[in-house]
Every structure is written in structure tokens, then in C-alpha cells.
Homo-oligomer: A and B are copies of this chain.
Amino acid sequence: MPPSLSDRLTESILGIIRDGGLRPGDAIPSARELAKRFAITTPTVREALRKLEATGAVEFRHGSGTYVGPTINNVVLANPHRPPITKDSVLQLISARLVIEPAVAAQSAVSRQPENLERLEAAVTNALVPPGGPAFALNFHVELAAASGNPLLQEVLASLLKVRVREQQQIRALYDNRARDHEEHQAIVDAVRAQDAVRAEQLTRSHLDNIRQAVEAAPEFS
């Protein structure tokens, strides 16, 4: 069962990106030129590009060009075609985070660098500004994972949280306890700063447990 033409094409296009040293944001050759280069037609090229688009490896900008996407080097990614969200799926997500994140926090307390502490502080304070601020790229829990020094852990957390974006508003609507969140986040940062792994782990666990309880108490959402 030989790989299909469009399969080989995706690999070739990735080869162009890697061999060309292209980084996220850089433009790749136009669909017409790729078609010419590989001696195939544009619909076939577009199929291959769509596959790459689905995984965030490339991005289309109508009229402008095709660009290298932000997650091209990711190992694990959030499913862009997510199933609909239910209260159960939210609780499942929090349960998974309850297993993973405390261990991550402990590791981050050990491995954190001064740069990580800066970003963590920024994430904590940014969360206080009312929504609409542009600096929402910094997510506290993702930055906490980043402080572990392992990009893979950051990817895993980012993927888990990306799925949550859609219902984040719903949770906020039901249980907007920004002040408490802020306090707990700050306490975790302090533990990480002090390189107190045990405390960071335990604070993260109770923080997530608080969120879990809040969601559990909330009514089923639409």
C-alpha cells in the first residue's frame, strides 16, 4: 500500500520548509509554484496543504500567501475538530489536569529559571486585567509547565488548555472567582520561586481541586 501522492507531497513540502530553514511566520512557495515544481496540479497541492493546515504546520492567508504555522514543530497538539463540550468532558479534563499538573509544578519548582519566574509573574498579573487585553497569550498554567524546562510538557498543557478555551467563558460566567484564582496562582509562584517542590505540588493540587468543585457545583451547560 504505497503512500498516496498527496501524502508524499506533504512530506516534500515539510522538507522544503525544514531544508529552507523556514520558521513560523515565514512564507512558503505559492500553490501554483509548488504545483509547477512537483509537476502536478494545484488541487493536489491544495489537498496536501490542507492536511498541513489541519495540524497547524501551515496557515493560509487569502490573497497574500501560505505561511509556516506556529505549531509545526509540535509533537502533540489539540484536536482542531473537537467534539462538543459537556459538563462531564470538562470534569474529565480537570481530573486529568489534577493528575498531571501537580507533578509538573513540582518539576518546575526544581528547574525554574529566572526568566520563567518573570513570565509567571506576568501571567499572574495579566489575569487580573479585564478581558479584552491583548496579552492573553500568557496562560498561567502553560507558563507553569514551561518553567519545567521541558517544551514537551508545555505542549501537553497547552493542548489540554486549548480545548478548554471554548468553555472558558462558560466557566467564567458560572464561577468568576478571579480574586481567588489570583491568590492561589500567586501562592504557587511563590513556592516555585522558593524551589519548594512539595509545596508547589500541593498548592497546584488544591487549586485545581477548587476549580473542580466549582464546576461540579455548576448546573449542566447547554
- Please state the number of chain copies in the assembly: 2
Interface residues on A, range: 35 or more
Q: Which of A62, A84, A153 has the most CB of B within 10 A?
A: A153
Q: Which residue of B lies closest to A89 (CB)?
A: B75
A70 within 8 A of B: no
**Contact residues in B for A163 (Cβ distance below 8 Å):** 75-76
Mask for A92-121, Cβ within 8 A of B = 1, else 0?
110110011011100100000000000000
**Contact residues in B for A11 (Cβ distance below 8 Å):** 81
A54 within 8 A of B: yes
**Contact residues in B for A102 (Cβ distance below 8 Å):** 103
A154 and B76 CA atoms in complex are apart in Å by 13
A83 within 8 A of B: yes
A92→B150 contact, CB < 8 A: yes
Question: In angstroms, how far is the closest chain B Cβ from the Cβ of A25?
Answer: 17
- Interface SS of A by simple majority: helix
A93 and B82 CA atoms in complex are apart in Å by 25
Mask for A79-90, Cβ within 8 A of B = 1, else 0?
111111000010
A33 within 8 A of B: no
A53 and B11 CA atoms in complex are apart in Å by 15
A77 within 8 A of B: yes
**Contact residues in B for A84 (Cβ distance below 8 Å):** 18
A32 within 8 A of B: no
10 new A-B pairs (CB below 8 Å) besides A18-B83, A55-B79, A75-B163?
Answer: A43-B47, A47-B47, A54-B55, A72-B81, A75-B79, A75-B89, A76-B79, A77-B77, A96-B153, A99-B153
| Complex A-B: 19 CB contacts under 8 Å | A6-B50, A18-B83, A43-B47, A46-B47, A50-B51, A51-B53, A51-B81, A57-B81, A72-B83, A75-B163, A76-B163, A92-B150, A92-B152, A96-B152, A99-B103, A99-B104, A99-B150, A100-B156, A103-B103
**Interfacial residues, chain A to chain B (CB-CB below 8 A):** 4, 6, 10-11, 14, 18, 43, 46-48, 50-55, 57, 60, 62, 71-84, 89, 92-93, 95-96, 99-100, 102-104, 107, 148, 150-153, 156, 159-160, 163
